Amino acid sequence: MTVIVLTHCPVGLRGFLTRWLLEISPGVFLGSPSARIRDALWDEVCEYAGNGRALLAYATDSEQGYAFRTHDHKWHPVDHEGLTLIFRPSDRAAPPPSSPRPGWSKASKRRRFGGGT
């Protein structure tokens, strides 16, 4: 079983994949091609994805029973003692505000921050 998920990819790439796989939802393709065809499809996806992202998941004879590959994702697969795990880089975004910004209504301040001002 092979699953390919496309996000923000050209429509032509989706049309190309429908020759080999069934599109069960927009951007989600499912099928059972041979390993050679699967690798050829993945090479085409990586070449023509443009600014989009892609994910390939397929069944294998491994400890987990599946394997996956990513293209232009922030999350990356990492081999950890024989298991494939996802490395999620930490987002060092600004912490949520501890006090309301000026201009919020009193009702909104109570609802969001739990207290009245």
Residue 11 pLDDT: 92
For residue 105, give both structure tokens: 């209504």
Q: Along the chain (117 residues), what's the average pLDDT of each consecutive run of 10 residues?
A: 95 93 96 96 94 94 90 86 84 60 71 64
Q: Quote the pLDDT of residue 40.
A: 96
Report DSSP letters for 20-72, one per residue: TSEEEETTEEEE---HHHHHHHHHHHHHH-TT-EEEEEEE-SSSSSEEEEEES
pTM: 0.72
For residue 30, the tally of other CB atoms under 10 A from its CB is 14
Distance of alpha carbon 9 from alpha carbon 27, whole angstroms: 8
Distance, CA of 71 to CA of 85 (rounded, Å): 16
Q: Are 75 and 88 in contact (CB under 8 A)?
A: yes
Which pLDDT score, from 0 to 100, does residue 9 have?
93
